[in-house]
Structure 1
Amino acid sequence: MAVFNKGGERREITSYSDWMSQLPPELHNIYLFKLAIPGSHDSMSYDLDINSSIIEPERLKILSKIYCARKIVRRWAATQEENITKQLDAGVRYFDMRIARKPNDTNPTRLFFYHGLYTRTDVETVLKGIKDWAERHPKEILILALSHFKETDERLHIHLINFIKTLFRTKLFLRTEIPTLKRCWDKGRNIIVSYDYPKCHDIELWSKIPYFYGGSMDTTKVESELCHALEKRRPSHSFFVCGLNLTLPEDVRILRYILRLCDNLANTIQRSLPRLLQWMKEQAAKTPVNIVASDLVTRDDFVPIIVKLNIQKE
């Protein structure tokens, strides 16, 4: 459990499904982009559809009709193992959501998530589930980052934006105001949506949230890149993400990993995550952090470790 001390008083987070509401009063008026917030990388990748066509990497798209190729892609694209509700219950408050439309879908406005493959569950169904959870936990602030759109039809973007605004309505915290816990609570608005598509702007939706990551499967290189980003490139007055996730190569070097028949991304992450979390604790003592995103967010005490970083902000 995360422990907070003020004047000798012991404070503990007793339930990570409601950890924001249990933070000490001293943190209620701090801007949210100055709090440490646990997030998940490629949040919907637990739901990848083995029967869908391959959407990435580009080199493997021609193998979409081959089952074993799709199976390999899924093994190395599934960065999360628990569904969105379980991630929320575990304390995750930032979600990295990448969106595309399936080719030849009979529904012209239906969209899905993707990471290597398309998901089985569509975007609107997932967002409805998030809205229901947010209503049950009104003091937990959720940040939804919609990005990496494969769809360029602006009519579909307009449809999705209108759906988001209609679904969340008064729960949306406007980008024209600076959010703090207390301000969100007072207004009854606990959902922030970042929509990273430059051609579509809306006063209620936030623009792109910078996501810094190491771009490597080597934890030493990941740490080095993130250290540079946190020291030189992080914004001081807006949200930003420090991604602890590993990244597969985009060239032929990817074969070194995906051809390992007895390995997968989850196992590789499991071996590296404890070290990256230890580095994060040490780095947070030197530079401010905001959203910290990871793969396998329900493992290795990821959420408690990130939440506990807020003790430095009292």
Structure 2
Amino acid sequence: MGADLDFYYFYAFVEIQMSANGKGKRGVTRYSDWMMQLPPELHNIPLFNLAIPGSHDSMSYDLDSSSSIIEPDSLKKFSRLCCVRKTLLKWAATQEDTITKQLDAGVRYFDLRIARKPHDTNPTRLYFYHGLYTRTDVESVLKMINDWAERHPREIIILALSHFKGFDQKTELHNHLISFIKTLFGTKVVLRGVTPTLRSCWDQGTNVIVSYDYPAIHDSYMWSKISYFYGDSMKIARVESVLSEHHYFARDPTGFFVCGLNLTLPDDARICLYVLRLCDSFANVVRRSLPRLLLWVKQQGSRKPNIVASDLAGREDFVSAVIQYNYYLLLSASIPL
């Protein structure tokens, strides 16, 4: 099958071939355990070459409307106005499902942006953020993820920690967070510098990969920044154009690579064109745009999208479209299911 084969045909072909082999939709019966249900032919290929569903701004379902505004800069001065915070909440919440529900739905990559509140009485307490701080602190959420990882030892979870707003180059905060992560996940962590496969992770009893986007940190437990490409626009055509360009020219076959289907609000006064739509919300915009963006994923042929991150990532149509891509790759290589 050529890379330019129309998605209607190759996805139909996948479904027909799976049905002919007695699989049908039984290829993956539970999205909470989809990795362990993949065909044996996929167990020994690098995780860099698997199609993996991910979520963008994964903790934004938990944003606190009483929080001060920490971005964008153009709205910070309105932090004391409740109506502005609530409006920002409608447009900053890119996810609706809890972290556990996202995991159960099949999401395996998490975009986790970390911040410290400037006047917190606890010097090491951290939160996630996206425009506003979250209500739940970082350590509590990581414990939830660890509990889930223990119940699903054959599902590989990728945590991308980044931004670290309010750390102000305080090495002690980074050291505290890394020490907590190493103690919490322990031997479940996939060490940096290896080429992980499903089989190698299962054999070694590891199922958590931690990417830590802070160049000054050099630790065998912490992977470096994972490349994340996105359109930086609310216009679907622009998102598709940028992602297509990076698929051709920027993909590193020896590492993880994220295609972000997410839409992005302007960080200047143009943001008002969206947030002043009183009867609309970011979630509604995503619901209208995601079907077309999923077409882009399905049209990529042999270009191997690896991690595909989205807003509203818990939606079954998103998760199933990404997971299904793994079966297409098998069929395109003439490997029997």
TM bucket, shorter chain: over 0.9
Q: Which deviates further from its counterpart, 119-128 or 64-73?
A: 64-73
Residue in 1 that maps onto 2:313: 297
User: Displacement, 1:6?
Assistant: 7.4
User: Displacement, 1:82?
Assistant: 0.5
Residue in 2 that maps onto 1:82: 97
Write the mapping of 1:1-314 to structure 2, written as runs, cut at 5 A.
Answer: 5=17, 8-11=20-23, 12-150=27-165, 151-152=167-168, 153-283=170-300, 285-299=301-315, 301-314=317-330
How many matched pairs?
312
Name the SS of the counterpart of 1:68 in structure 2.
helix
Paired amino acid for 1:305: A
CA distance in 2, matches of 1:271, 1:116: 22
Paired amino acid for 1:25: P
Paired amino acid for 1:109: T
User: Displacement, 1:9?
Assistant: 2.3
Q: Is the CA contact 2:48–2:306 (under 8 Å) kept in the aligned structure 1?
A: yes
Paired amino acid for 1:65: R
RMSD (CA atoms): 1.4
CA distance in 1, matches of 2:225, 2:15: 33
CA distance in 1, matches of 2:201, 2:20: 29
Name the SS of the counterpart of 1:250 in structure 2.
coil
TM-score, normalised with respect to structure 2: 0.90
Name the SS of the counterpart of 2:71 in structure 1.
coil
What is the CA deviation profile of residues 46-65 of structure 1, one whole-angstrom value per residue up to 9, with x for unaligned ones? 00000110010011111111
User: Displacement, 1:231?
Assistant: 0.7
CA distance in 2, matches of 1:193, 1:286: 28
CA distance in 2, matches of 1:193, 1:66: 37
Q: Is the CA contact 1:4–1:24 (under 8 Å) kept in the aligned structure 2?
A: no
| Identity within the alignment, % | 64
Q: Which deviates further from its counterpart, 197-206 or 88-97?
A: 197-206
Counterparts in 2 of 1:240 and 1:4: CA distance versus 1, 3 Å: farther
CA distance in 2, matches of 1:165, 1:128: 12
TM-score, normalised with respect to structure 1: 0.97
Q: Is the CA contact 1:42–1:115 (under 8 Å) kept in the aligned structure 2?
A: yes
Q: Is the CA contact 1:274–1:300 (under 8 Å) kept in the aligned structure 2?
A: no
Name the SS of the counterpart of 1:140 in structure 2.
coil
CA distance in 2, matches of 1:220, 1:6: 32
Q: Is the CA contact 1:57–1:116 (under 8 Å) kept in the aligned structure 2?
A: yes
Counterparts in 2 of 1:50 and 1:18: CA distance versus 1, 3 Å: same
Unpaired runs of at least 5, structure 2: 1-13, 331-337
Unpaired runs of at least 5, structure 1: none
User: Displacement, 1:248?
Assistant: 0.5
